[in-house]
């Protein structure tokens, strides 16, 4: 590998890149989730720790000619952990909302309720912002509208078509629904979207642009064209069509592609001062945020893991933490041969001998790859790992060629933890175009 950029604390301070002591601490006070394991944070977390999998077969004749026939759908229905859109929205609302907006609104509602934050005064609304992104729009919306224009003419094109496909509309809908007048920001950086949105929200609070941020990602793009396009890139799993729950298998020797999924993950971040003033429950603290670029290829990561290495190192430097403080990594690992291997190389290069003491898991084995929502859903899992001391498993990991602790199949208790210590974890997200982000999360210590 090439000579490393020096990201030492001394050099960062000389460049003015570290956060000054006056910057507010940022904590997590609310969580909301919609994903293939279900709806509701506590329900999903329990299923995740049990090693359940939310991947199912695609049962639709429109996919007959497509080699991939597995996906991670949000369960719709009226039972426990299922999503009932008719209960959540008026029929007139569903004409204007994309499915991604629906998922984002439901997750945001849960997160705000969990945080017990219902800004009602003008001041509270102005100090609360939104940073929620999506990786790509629903291609089926575009196809259907284009066909309508061609077959039936201009008058039959929905006036809601453009708002339904704008990538900032999830953030906008959340802002409108809850009357939030702080920064309204949308991110669209492929599979890094959710983590970038959280990192940006963290920066907004540290800069004083907001006291509270509703942040994360939402995605709902499963369609024949989307599946076909990713399958043509040879990115998707195709060998487990008859056994869908085994298809997503990060770090496993027999992994051969990712499984496309849908859902949303929303977090409430706020300054510690604001949270303590209102006696809020605090799940964890965001300790640092880092970014990097591969500068390599539009879809493939660098085989040596250089981008991931720089990203994780930058994050720990931002948090001013030693490598030995990290005990858990929620990996981006999507179940692709090249991507998983590159991330492992980066972890070994950065952490050296300490890598063997770190618990590393990819929750994509259970929920698949939520694309633009992946980073935010996985940040929620990382926050809960720090909060509860339980490490979620890497589902379907049966055989690996690596010598690290990938938490195979079953959850584990937090390693090497004493009550007086802080639990510290990293979560990674990497996207097409070579865009990378990492967050470092810590259990809350006053």
Just list the catalytic residues. 191, 332, 369
- Enter the tokens of residue 203: 């920066």
Answer whether 218's CB lies under 8 Å from 103's CB.
yes
Per DSSP, the three-state class of 202 is helix
DSSP states of 122-183: HHHHHTEEEEEE-SS--HHHHHHHHHHHHHH-GGGS-TTHHHHH-TTHHHHHHHHHHT--S-
- What is the rounded distance in angstroms from the CA atom of residue 196 to the CA atom of residue 407? 26
| Contacts with 219 (C-beta within 8 Å, 6 or more apart), sequence order | 100, 103, 134, 135, 136, 193, 262, 263, 264, 370, 371, 372, 373, 374
CB-CB contact of 407 with 168 (8 Å)? no
Tokens of 292: 């990097």
Tell me the angle at which helices 374-388 and 193-207 cross, rounded to the nearest 10 degrees: 70
- Report the SS3 class of residue 4: coil
SS3 385: helix
Burial class (CB in 10 A: 0-12, 13-18, 19+), 78: exposed
Q: Which structure tokens are listed for 419?
A: 């009550």
Q: What is the CA radius of gyration of the chain?
A: 21
Q: Which one, of 363, 354, 342, lies nearest residue 316 by Cα? A: 354
Provide DSSP, 48-112.
Answer: HHTT----EE---GGGTTSS--EEBPPPBSSSTT-B-HHHHS-HHHHHH--HHHHHHHHHHHHHH
- Percent of the chain that is helix, strand, coil (3-state, to 5): 40, 20, 40
The residues pairing with 361 across neighbouring beta strands, listed in sequence order, are 330
Residue 212 sits at φ, ψ, to 5 deg, of -135, 140
């Amino acid at each position: 590998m090439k000579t490393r950029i020096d990201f030492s604390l001394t050099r960062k301070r000389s460049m003015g890149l570290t956060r000054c002591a006056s910057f507010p601490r940022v904590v997590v006070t609310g969580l909301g989730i919609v994903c293939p394991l279900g709806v509701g944070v506590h329900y999903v977390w329990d299923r995740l720790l049990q090693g359940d999998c939310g991947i199912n077969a695609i049962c639709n004749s429109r996919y007959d000619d497509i080699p991939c026939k597995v996906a991670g759908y949000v369960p719709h229905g009226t039972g426990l952990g299922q999503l009932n859109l008719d209960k959540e929205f008026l029929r007139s609302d569903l004409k204007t909302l994309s499915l991604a907006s629906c998922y984002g609104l439901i997750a945001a509602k849960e997160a705000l309720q969990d945080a017990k934050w219902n800004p009602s005064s003008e001041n509270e609304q102005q100090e609360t912002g939104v940073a929620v992104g999506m990786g790509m729009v629903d291609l089926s919306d575009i196809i259907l509208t284009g066909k309508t224009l061609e077959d039936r003419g201009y008058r039959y094109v929905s006036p809601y078509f453009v708002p339904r496909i704008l990538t900032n509309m999830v953030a906008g809908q959340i802002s409108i629904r809850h009357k939030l007048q702080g920064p309204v920001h949308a991110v669209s950086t492929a599979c890094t979207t959710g983590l970038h949105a959280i990192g940006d929200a963290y920066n907004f609070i540290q800069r004083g642009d907001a006291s509270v941020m509703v942040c994360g990602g939402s995605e709902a793009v499963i369609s024949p064209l989307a599946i076909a396009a990713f399958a043509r890139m040879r990115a998707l799993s195709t060998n487990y069509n008859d056994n869908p729950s085994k298809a997503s298998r990060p770090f496993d020797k027999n992994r051969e592609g990712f499984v496309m999924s849908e859902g949303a993950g929303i977090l409430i971040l706020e300054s510690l001062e604001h949270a303590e003033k209102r006696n809020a429950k605090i799940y964890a603290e965001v300790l640092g945020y880092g970014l990097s670029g591969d500068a390599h290829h539009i879809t493939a990561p660098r085989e040596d893991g250089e981008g991931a290495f720089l990203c994780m190192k930058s994050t720990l430097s931002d948090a001013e933490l030693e490598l030995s403080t990290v005990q858990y990594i929620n990996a981006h690992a999507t179940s692709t041969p090249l991507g998983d291997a590159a991330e492992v190389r980066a972890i070994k290069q950065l952490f050296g001998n300490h890598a063997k003491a770190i618990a590393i898991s990819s929750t994509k084995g259970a929920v698949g790859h939520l694309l633009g929502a992946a980073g935010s859903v996985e940040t929620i899992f990382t926050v809960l790992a720090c909060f509860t001391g339980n490490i979620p498993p890497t589902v379907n990991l049966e055989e690996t060629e690596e010598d690290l602790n990938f938490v195979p199949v079953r959850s584990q208790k937090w390693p090497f933890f004493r009550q007086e210590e802080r639990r510290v974890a990293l979560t990674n997200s990497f996207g097409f175009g070579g865009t990378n982000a990492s967050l470092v999360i810590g259990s809350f210590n006053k």
